[in-house]
């Protein structure tokens, strides 16, 4: 099975409330084998994921040993999560670990239309 197929499978699992005990281990192994583009595919769908799998996914992102890219859309996504009742503290840890910042560029409409 190609990595891109595994990424699609992972996205579908996270969207359908897959809550098996081995989900964290599965995501950990997927993160070790994915490219930055494939990781971006998974992160772009973050708000579509069900609560329990999203938390598991974010815990694995926090434990991720590689540097994480930080485009404006990703920083904006995590900025929104900072205000989430259940995920705020976890999002804050990820925010601090990867050095995210919100700039005026994040809220400019022309960038949204371009991206």
Residue 31 has pLDDT above 60, yes or no: yes
Residue with tokens 């329990």: 52
- Write down the pLDDT at residue 56: 94
Residue 36 has pLDDT above 80, yes or no: yes
Residue 109 has pLDDT above 60, yes or no: no
Rounded mean pLDDT, 11-21: 87
25 vs 102, more confident: 25
Distances (CA, A) of 3 to 29, 37, 53, 115: 11, 11, 20, 25
- Write down the pLDDT at residue 2: 77
As for how many domains the chain has, the answer is: 1
Task: Tell me the pLDDT band of 115, cut-offs 50, 70 and 90.
Answer: low
Q: CA 38 to CA 7: how far, in whole Å?
A: 7
- For residue 43, give its domain range: 3-114
Rounded mean pLDDT, 3-7: 84
3-state secondary structure of 7: helix
- Write down the pLDDT at residue 111: 55
Q: CA 88 to CA 109: how far, in whole Å?
A: 26
Segment 96-104 long-range contacts (CB within 8 Å, at least 24 positions apart): 97/62, 98/67, 98/68, 98/70, 99/70, 100/70, 100/74, 100/75, 101/75, 102/75, 102/76, 103/72
């Amino acid at each position: 099975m190609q990595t891109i197929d595994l990424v699609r499978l992972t996205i579908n699992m996270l969207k359908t409330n897959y809550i098996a005990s081995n989900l964290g281990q599965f995501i950990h192994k997927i993160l070790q084998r994915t490219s930055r583009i494939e990781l971006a595919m998974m992160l772009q769908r973050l708000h579509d994921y069900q609560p329990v799998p999203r938390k598991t996914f974010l815990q694995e992102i926090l434990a991720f040993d590689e540097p994480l890219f930080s485009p404006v859309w990703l920083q904006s996504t995590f900025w929104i999560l900072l205000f989430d009742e259940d995920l705020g503290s976890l999002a804050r840890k990820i925010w601090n670990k990867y050095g995210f910042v919100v700039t005026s560029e994040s809220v400019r409409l022309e960038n949204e239309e371009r991206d």
